[in-house]
Every structure is written in structure tokens, then in C-alpha cells.
Amino acid sequence: MVVPQAQSAVVERLGRFRAVADPGLNFLVPFLDRVRARIDLREQVVSFPPQPVITQDNLTVSIDTVVYFQVTDSRSAVYEISDYIIGVEQLTTTTLRNVVGGMSLEETLTSRDAINSQLRGVLDQETGRWGIRVARVELKAIDPPPSIQDSMEKQMRADREKRAMILNAEGQREAAIKTAEGEKQAAILAAEGEKQAAILSAEAERQSSILRAQGERASRYLQAQGQAKAIEKVFAAVKRGKPTPELLAYQYLQTLPQMAQGDANKVWMVPSDFGKSLEGFARMLGAPGEDGVFRYEPPKEEAPQEAPEDEDESIRAWFDTSSTPEVAEAVRAAEAVARKEVPAPGMLGEPGALGQAPASAPPARPDQA
């Protein structure tokens, strides 16, 4: 008899076990020896139908199992059990119910590796006397009841919606925080800008008020000086002209109509001794000539007076028309910005169009600023 590779044959003689025929050529005694069974020595895969199992929380689940086993002892596989495949199936079912019965549904769904390990250990120990070695046990499918599946789907959907709402709330919270921080920074910068603008405006008003007051003070002083010089010049011209009393009387009469032009001047009284008054005035200020007429003598030439700012050091700064260095620098910066070239609309995208330096201009002198 020829036995194929990875197989063995159990040989009986007159109904009793004689030997296990190995792969290859074997010799049998006709009419005395016969082959009881041929055993496949390769690893076999057996898938068992779904088995209903009750979990610890009284829920019935359907579990499909797959067992990987191999026959190691052909004699024990034939004489120790009538059908080792049915034995493995029933042993797997009872062990699975025992293991899963101590777990809840969630533990059953998440503990496949633990269940596989326990099943393999129990099956390998029990099937060892049958000449079978269990290599692996896998749970192919765990199917809970439809109502439980619906509840689990709703629970998962609720969990996802919950996480989505939490993430959405976190995003809105972060956005609100960022927006509030941005508004805070903007308000701080705006307040700082308003503060600086108010300070600069107040400083500018102060400087302009001071400069305006200094200008008005110097202007009034110069007007007073001019009026004094004009009066001096008029009196000097009158004295140099040597006017007679008749001329003074004529000038006085020429002035009376102008004095009477005011709205508040209603009645004017001309004194009768007007000529005598002029004569006394001429005698007091004039000197008699060869013809006996009193005339004004020309005044002596007076030395030219110095400018008021040269006479008094305290008022010299009143007539200083040069700008302060700070004002001159600000004016130069403003002129530099005003002289900047404005780029054409087509050149806005070119690099360096906006940053083009203006043409150099001579710096403004303080007196010109």
C-alpha cells in the first residue's frame, strides 16, 4: 500500500490495531490486514455555524468561530473519539458560552483577543488526549440583536454629535477669545493713538499760542516804536519849518471839520481868544525874528537811536524770527513726504514702486522754515 505525503493510515489485523502506516510504501498481509481510517496530518480549518450566546447583561449574541487544528496522533484520533470534528465543535460551543457568559456586551465586542486566548487554552488542553493540537481559535463575527444594533447606532450617533457640538463650542470659544483679545488690543492702540494725538495737538496749540503772543507783543512794541518815531519826525519837521502863528491857526481851522465828522459830536464851541492862544503858544515855543514875528527854531540834530532790541537784552528774543530746530525738522520731514513721487496705476504691482525715494532737495534753512 502506498500512503501519500501528509497522510497516515491506521492498519488493523483481524480487527485489532496493528500499526500506523507512514507516507510511502507499506506492506500488508492479504485477508488479515486492512486499513481502518486514513488521517489527514495537515492543519485543518473548520468554520462552525453561528452559536447563540447569552452575555452577563442578559443579551443574546450570535458568534461565529473558526478553529485551526492539526492531528498529531492518528491512533488516538481514531480510537479515543468517534468524530473528533464534532467533538471540537461542541467543546468550542460550550467553552465559548462559559467565557462570554461572564462578560458584558461591550466587553465581548472589545475583548476578542482575550476570548480567543481562553478558547485556545481550553480546547488545546481538552483535545490533547484525542491526538489533536488546536493552533488558533478566531471569532469571525459577533452579531448582537437588531434592537441592540439600532441602540448602538443611536448611541454612536449621539456620541459623534456630542463630540461635534463640543468641538464647535470649543471653536466658538476660541474665536470669541481671539476676537476679544483683538478688540482689546485695537482699543488699547486706539487709546494710545488718541492720547498721543491729544498730547501733540495740545503741544502744537501751546507752541502756536506762545508764538502768536510773542508775535503780537513784538508787533505792538514795534507799532509803539513806530508811532513814537512818527511823532518825533512830525514835531521835528514842524520845528524845522518855522511855522508862524497864522499858519498854525490855518492848520487848526483845517482840522476842525474833520473833528466834527463824528456821530457823537453835535455842537462845537470856537473860543474868541483863539488867536491869543496861538500867539502864546508861538511865544512859548518860538523865538522872535528880525521882523518881530515869532518862529520855531529847527531842533538840534539828535544822534540816531539804536533799535529797541539792541537797547534791552531782555526783549531781543521778541524779534527772533528764526524757527526752532524741532519745528524746522518737522517742516523738512513734511516737505520730504510731500515731494514723494506717486506711482502710476500700472506700476503699483512692481517691487519698489511705493518705496522709491524722492528727488533730493536742499534742506530748508531755519529762517525760511
- Per-residue pLDDT of 42-76, as tens digits, reads 988 988 888 888 888 888 888 888 889 889 888 88
Straight-line distance from the first to the last Cα atom of the chain, in angstroms, rounded to the nearest whole number? 128
151 vs 201, which has greater pLDDT? 201
Segment 84-127, tens digit of pLDDT? 888 888 888 888 888 888 888 778 878 888 888 888 888 888 88
224 vs 274, which has greater pLDDT? 224
- The answer to whether 217 and 209 have CB atoms below 8 angstroms apart is no
Segment 321-340, tens digit of pLDDT? 666 677 677 777 777 777 77
Three-state SS at 13: strand
218 vs 351, which has greater pLDDT? 218
The pLDDT score that the predictor gives to residue 339 is 74
Say whether pLDDT at 271 is over 60.
no
Which range has the worst mean pLDDT, 101-115, 171-185, 209-223, 281-295? Answer: 281-295
Segment 111-170, tens digit of pLDDT? 888 888 888 888 888 888 888 888 888 888 888 878 777 877 888 889 899 999 999 999
pTM above 0.75, yes or no: no
Cα–Cα distance measured from residue 14 to residue 77, given in angstroms and rounded to the nearest whole number? 20
**Torsion-angle region of 341 (φ positive above 0: left; ψ -120 to 50: alpha; else: beta):** beta
27 DSSP 8-state letter:
-
For the chain, percent of residues with pLDDT exceeding 90:
9
What does the block give as the cell for 357?
Answer: 525715494
Say whether pLDDT at 308 is over 90.
no
Half-sphere CA count of 152, side-chain side, radius 13 A:
10
The pLDDT score that the predictor gives to residue 362 is 45
The pLDDT score that the predictor gives to residue 356 is 45
Three-state SS at 135: strand
Q: How far is CA 240 from the centre of its chain?
A: 87
The one-letter amino acid at 204: A
Share the mean pLDDT of the chain: 77
Beta pairing partners, 69: 44, 134
Buried b or exposed e, range 217-247, using 16+ CB within 10 angstroms: ebeeeeeeeeeeeeeeeeeeebbeebbbbee
Number of other CB atoms surrounding residue 333 within 10 Å: 10
Q: How confident is the model at residue 182 (pLDDT cuts 50, 70, 90)?
A: very high
